[in-house]
Structure 1
Amino acid sequence: MKAVIVLCLMALAVARGDKNAEILRNDFELNAEDGSYQSDMESSNGIRMRASGISYPGNEPETGSYFVEGEYQYTDLEGNTVLVKYTADENGYKPESDILP
């Protein structure tokens, strides 16, 4: 799960290339009772990210799975707003966007 978020943010940083961007909002909420979380982030250069997920524990320590859904948005070099929605679970990362084949 963390890898998916990090990869999304890295892709956005490379796509935008704005070294002076500032984080305007970075909210994270963890529900310890059921293992779910919600995360929202927005930066001054128009990048936005929203994700929520839940952990499903397995029968043994260090086993189980996650389900994550979210979206990120940025402005490409031509000034177009790009939106990518995704889910990620034990079957992999599944993005949906007009920019994808």
Structure 2
Amino acid sequence: MFKILLVCALAALVAANENAEVKELVNEVNPDGFKTVVSLSDGSASQASGDVHGNIDGVFEWVSPEGVHVRVAYKADENGYQPSSDLLPVAPPIPEAILKSLAWIEAHPSKE
């Protein structure tokens, strides 16, 4: 199933950039995991590697229509999909009053 999704993602990347030429294309599937690399002449690229346990590390990048270089690195494992990028929104810090309330609740558990 994952191979089908990977092929679809690669096809979508190439189709979205129909004027771009493929500079590098690597698809290795081994008994202990896989490695895939796609690099296009317009600066779009995708790299991923995974192991037999379903853990995947990867990165994809492109240049937006505004000229901004977008890069997203990710890890997918037992903790789910974990993207990281300077362009992703960040949650605000937890207010001090909430932190104090959580500490009080932890120190005074329910009797049930």
Give me the TM-score of the superposition, normalised by structure 2: 0.63
Partners of 1:82 and 1:8 in 2: CA distance? 17
Between 1 and 2, higher relative CO (CA 8 Å, sep ≥ 6) is seen in 1
Letter in 1 for 2:27: F
The match for 2:81 among 79, 90, 93 is 93
Deviation at 1:74, TM superposition (A): 0.5
Could you say which structure has the higher helix fraction?
2
For the pair shown, the structure with the greater C-alpha radius of gyration is 2
Could you say which structure has the higher strand fraction?
1
Q: Percent identity?
A: 33
Identify unmatched segments of 5+ residues in structure 1: 57-65
Deviation at 1:7, TM superposition (A): 5.0
State the secondary structure of the residue aligned to 2:55.
strand
Q: Superposition RMSD on alpha carbons, in Å?
A: 2.5
Letter in 1 for 2:40: S
Query: Residue deviations 1:28-78, cap 9 Å, x none?
Result: 22222xx2111111012111111110122xxxxxxxxx1000101100111
Deviation at 1:6, TM superposition (A): 4.4
The match for 1:78 among 66, 69, 73 is 66
Deviation at 1:92, TM superposition (A): 2.0
**1:68 aligned onto 2:56:** yes
Number of residue pairs matched by the alignment? 87
Give me the TM-score of the superposition, normalised by structure 1: 0.69
